[in-house]
Amino acid sequence: MTKSKTSISRKAEASVEARTKPHAAPSASTKAPSKQESLAALLLRHEGATLEQMVLAMGWRPHTTRAAMTGLRKKGYVIDSDKIDGVRTYRAVAPE
């Protein structure tokens, strides 16, 4: 069976129209935070965050979480850690 030319051309027109239609830019207030921004928010808290807390919050494996912290360092965040009772807690200071 073959499709009629009108059904094919209507689909093609709709496809072209959808691609050329101007899209509204998302405003800053409706944009969801990126994964790195979410991780930074955890680290910027006064109490900081343990690796376990970050892994649970982000849904990442520990090595991925540590790599993301390295990415934050490259963006200018100062990340410090303290080991209290055998648990390492990370804290960050945002770049100026």
Determine the distance from the C-alpha atom of residue 93 to the mean position of all C-alpha atoms in its chain, rounded to a whole number: 19
Ranges of residues in the chain whose predicted pLDDT is under 50:
none
pLDDT of residue 96: 87
**According to the model, what pLDDT value does residue 15 have?**
56
CATH architecture entry for 33-96: Orthogonal Bundle (1.10)
pLDDT of 70: 97
Helix axes 62-74, 51-58, angle to 10 degrees: 100
Q: What is the pLDDT of residue 86?
A: 94
**How far is C-alpha 44 from the geometric centre of its chain's CA atoms?**
16
Q: What share of the chain is helix, strand, coil (3-state, %, to 5)?
A: 50, 15, 35
The confidence score (pLDDT) of residue 52 equals: 97
The reported pLDDT for the residue numbered 30 is: 83
